[in-house]
Amino acid sequence: MKIIIVKDQQQGGEKALEVFKQALDQGAEVFGLATGSTPLTTYTELVNSDLDFSQKISLNLDEYVGLKADDPQSYHAYMQQHLFKFKQFKQSYLPQGDAADAQAEIQRYNELLTKFPIDLQLLGIGKNGHIGFNEPGSSFTEQTRKVKLTPSTVAANARFFDSAADVPQYAYSMGIGSIMRAKRILLEAFGSAKATAAAAMIEGPVTPDCPASVLQQHPDVTVILDQAAAAKLSK
């Protein structure tokens, strides 16, 4: 892993922009994208840059089960608000949260990931070490699947909804096996709440108890941490 420690999330977004630019310069065609509060400064930097994605493909990590694409809390809406309405991609794919047939939707997304191998995958990390919605205990070989969210993840996401009762209990998510097939991975973590997970990911044993620890086995991972998220690293 290449570890980059920055002052704050703003500087983290600036460093992430450099990673995206380098990937484009090296011929990247397919970008795996994430949602949540972590990548917001990265998307702001991409929007304000002159980088051109108009001939590129994007695939998102996950989507809540049960939400339509036009639901304001869907990840479709998030991506539209923070990136897609400013930066045009040739084609952007996300899991369909309101798909009538879950197994058919999972198969569709796995086929897309096979058709469009990801060159650069953007990730955040949960307080419990999850990547995507792959919670502790997830198999390292899983592909896209429907997952039940843990109470801690539901609680963490409740701030985006009117109440915790409104947070979906399930999501479609790329599996860890899907994520690990990306040629290059960029993971960001900001704030003291992510310090324990970041330390376990980087310095702890590779174990399903911390799903992100599997990234130690990937050949090309860049981790951007602010000083607060890096506080529990031993060196």
Q: Under 8 Å CB-to-CB from 14, ≥6 apart: which residues?
A: 6, 41, 45
Active site (annotated) includes residue 29: no
Q: How far apart are CA 177 and CA 141, in angstroms?
A: 4
Active site (annotated) includes residue 98: no
Task: Report the DSSP pairing between strands 91-93 and 57-60.
Answer: parallel
CA-closest candidate to residue 141, choices 220, 198, 208: 208
CA-closest candidate to residue 1, choices 208, 227, 185: 185
Active site (annotated) includes residue 45: no
Catalytic residue among 130, 134, 157, 188: 130
Distance of CA 176 to the CA centre of its chain: 11
CA dihedral over 162, 76, 152, 169, signed as positive or negative: positive
Q: In one letter, which amino acid is 24?
A: L
Q: How far apart are CA 34 and CA 200, in angstroms?
A: 21
Catalytic residue among 45, 63, 128, 226: 128
Catalytic residue among 105, 135, 188, 226: 135
Task: Report the DSSP pairing between strands 184-189 and 120-123.
Answer: parallel
Catalytic residue among 45, 60, 62, 105: 62
CA-closest candidate to residue 69, choices 97, 106, 109: 97
82 secondary structure, DSSP code = I
Task: Report the DSSP pairing between strands 184-189 and 145-148.
Answer: unpaired
Active site (annotated) includes residue 14: no
Neighbours of 46 (CB within 10 A): 21
Q: Which residues are catalytic?
A: 62, 128, 130, 135
